[in-house]
Amino acid sequence: MTVVFWVAVAVVAAAQLWIVIQGVFFMRLWEDEAFNLTVPINLVNGLGYTSDGTLSGSQLTTFDPRISTGPVVLLPVAAVLAMGADPVIGGRLVVLLFYIALVVGLWRLGGRLGGRWAALAAVCVPLGWNTWLSGSPIQSPVDILGEVPAAALLVWAFLALRRQPWLAGLLIGLAMQTKLLGALAAIPIALAIYLLSDGSVVTRTLRVVLCALAAVIPNVLYELWKLVTLGPSAYWQNLKEFYWFFTSGGQNIDPVSPLSKLTALGTGWFSPTWLTLIFIVFVLAAVCVLVLRTPADEDAGAIAERREQRAYAIAAALGLVLWFGWWLASEHTPNWPRYAAMAIYIFVPILVALAARWLDEQWRSRPWGPWSRIVSGVVSVVAVSALGTQLWGHVQISDQSRFGESLADQRAVAASVAESDLDVIVTAWGPNVSIIVLAGSQVALDDVPDWDGTPELWRNWDSSAAGKEEFTNAIAAECATVLVREGRYALCILR
């Protein structure tokens, strides 16, 4: 079994390496990444913590409320860019460090709760969730977005909470300044601190309070930075705009029913739905049996270990209920896998690790005699099939490019656009945004009157012969001057 284990570790490590290499160097830069990158680029250029404001009136916007990825990610990216790194590669390498932290944290947490097989299962879970299934994806775990870094910080908060509640709180605060939605993990972590603390109710409560106070520190510092930079009046306006963006999701869409989102939670994996559901049932049943069973012959060490398992199981279950409950109830948010991703990266691995611990106990002790081995064998096949299928599914799509282009293709177009030496380029929100950012220009939306007459970047969405002809005809009819015609893109001044 030791040989089998290390072969499995090698396979998982190879899959992880393949996915992150593709994500860092070859995957196309998509528009949310590009929009996030405008903050560190402008910061390095002396414009402060400012975005291009593409979604906020298409004017440079300091502390843009629509940039939901926070300074914990964007400031390190700015530091890397200041040293001369390529914006895309440098930014993704920063997020890669967070992803490594997530994998290491899950390995340690899974190992602590269930042993080495549990650790291996835990690190596979994040790759099983298919975040490509929407118009706002996480293409790879190294995208310049806040979900993976926030999840990494919160996993380490779970590791620190028992002995260092103040550190767990600080990590919660940093996670909130990475992706504010990370605040939903604060309650499960606080509960775990309370359950795992010794002493009276007052002592336990004080440890929770210490965690909360530490969590406030990064948020207060960020708000003070905003207040000093913007001034009281602009700061208050910024808060109101941020509140609107956070509560509305920034999306003007028809309400999305809870049932459709609940369906997405079951079907949004790389494994077949029937296999996913069987695996979910196994995990939940195994965790329940593990935490509710208390054999009479356990020694003090086993009792303490069981206590920890129960606390983490309750915290993880509560975390999923809170997260999914918020998402299901928030009909104003789209049915995008990104919203559920952080919960799946943090809480599901904990439950999977505990289920793996139960399975390991069945193999070792065989409490039901020969039936234990039969049941354990069947469950093991289900678990390996589900996790293996999910991992393989992620590997298969990791070298594919959304919209039929790679990072190299985008760079070729951007190089041609950059030759026009334009400060501002107008476009519609979508893949064009990435081209403009790579070209070094400011991105403005084509529906903002202030930029009428500014050169506009178009993209041909239909690559068929008829589509190409239609695109050519549209350029001839509507463009007074064509500045660039490169591949599927055209930069022109409208008539």
pTM of the predicted structure, to 2 decimals: 0.94
Q: Where are the alpha helices (DSSP H) in 83-144?
A: 87-114, 116-128
Nearest residue to 385 via CA among 374, 396, 377: 377
Rounded to whole angstroms, how far apart are CA atoms 120 and 15? 13
Per-residue confidence (pLDDT) for residue 369, from 0 to 100: 63
Per-residue confidence (pLDDT) for residue 6, from 0 to 100: 93
Give the count of beta carbons closer than 10 Å to the beta carbon of residue 358.
Answer: 23
Asked if 403 and 409 touch (Cβ cutoff 8 Å), the reply is: no
Rounded to whole angstroms, how far apart are CA atoms 205 and 209? 6
Half-sphere exposure of 47 (CA within 13 A, CB side): 17
Supply the DSSP symbol for 257.
Answer: P
Supply the DSSP symbol for 29.
Answer: P
Q: Where are the alpha helices (DSSP H) in 129-231?
A: 147-160, 165-176, 186-196, 201-230
Confidence at 368, pLDDT banded by 50, 70, 90 = low
pLDDT (mean) for 454-479 = 89
Q: Is the pLDDT of residue 258 over 80?
A: yes
pLDDT (mean) for 313-321 = 96
Confidence at 167, pLDDT banded by 50, 70, 90 = very high
Nearest residue to 35 via CA among 423, 431, 407, 433: 433
Supply the DSSP symbol for 269.
Answer: B
Rounded to whole angstroms, how far apart are CA atoms 316 and 354? 11
Rounded to whole angstroms, how far apart are CA atoms 208 and 168? 10
DSSP 1-17: -HHHHHHHHHHHHHHHH
Mean pLDDT of the chain: 91
Per-residue confidence (pLDDT) for residue 41, from 0 to 100: 97
Asked if 144 and 69 touch (Cβ cutoff 8 Å), the reply is: yes
Query: Domain residues of the chain, as ranges?
Result: 2-397, 405-494
Rounded to whole angstroms, how far apart are CA atoms 339 and 131? 9
Asked if 491 and 414 touch (Cβ cutoff 8 Å), the reply is: no
Token reading at 235: 């700061």
Token reading at 346: 């943090």
Asked if 416 and 484 touch (Cβ cutoff 8 Å), the reply is: yes
DSSP 305-342: HHHHHHHHHHHHHHHHHHHHHHHHH-TTS---HHHHHH
Per-residue confidence (pLDDT) for residue 295, from 0 to 100: 63
Number of H helices, E strands in the chain: 18, 7
Confidence at 324, pLDDT banded by 50, 70, 90 = very high
Per-residue confidence (pLDDT) for residue 2, from 0 to 100: 83
Confidence at 189, pLDDT banded by 50, 70, 90 = very high
Q: Is the pLDDT of residue 157 over 80?
A: yes
Q: Is the pLDDT of residue 367 over 70?
A: no
Asked if 299 and 421 touch (Cβ cutoff 8 Å), the reply is: no
CA distances from 159 to 92, 105, 193, 202 (A): 25, 8, 11, 23
Q: Is the pLDDT of residue 247 over 90?
A: no
What amino acid occupies position 417? Answer: V
Highest mean pLDDT pick, 257-266, 298-307, 326-335, 342-351: 342-351
Rounded to whole angstroms, how far apart are CA atoms 97 and 12? 18
Token reading at 410: 């985008």
Cβ-in-10-Å burial (0-12, 13-18, 19+) of 232 comes to: exposed
Per-residue confidence (pLDDT) for residue 387, from 0 to 100: 92
Q: Is the pLDDT of residue 297 over 90?
A: no
Per-residue confidence (pLDDT) for residue 399, from 0 to 100: 81
Q: Sign of the C-alpha dihedral, residues 393, 394, 395, 398?
A: positive
CA distances from 423 to 32, 59, 136, 461 (A): 20, 12, 27, 25
Q: Sign of the C-alpha dihedral, residues 389, 119, 11, 380?
A: negative
Rounded to whole angstroms, how far apart are CA atoms 319 and 327? 12
What amino acid occupies position 133? Answer: L
Half-sphere exposure of 388 (CA within 13 A, CB side): 9
Return the C-alpha torsion angle 105, 111, 112, 113, nearest 10.
110
Nearest residue to 350 via CA among 156, 173, 128, 113: 113
End-to-end CA distance of the chain: 71
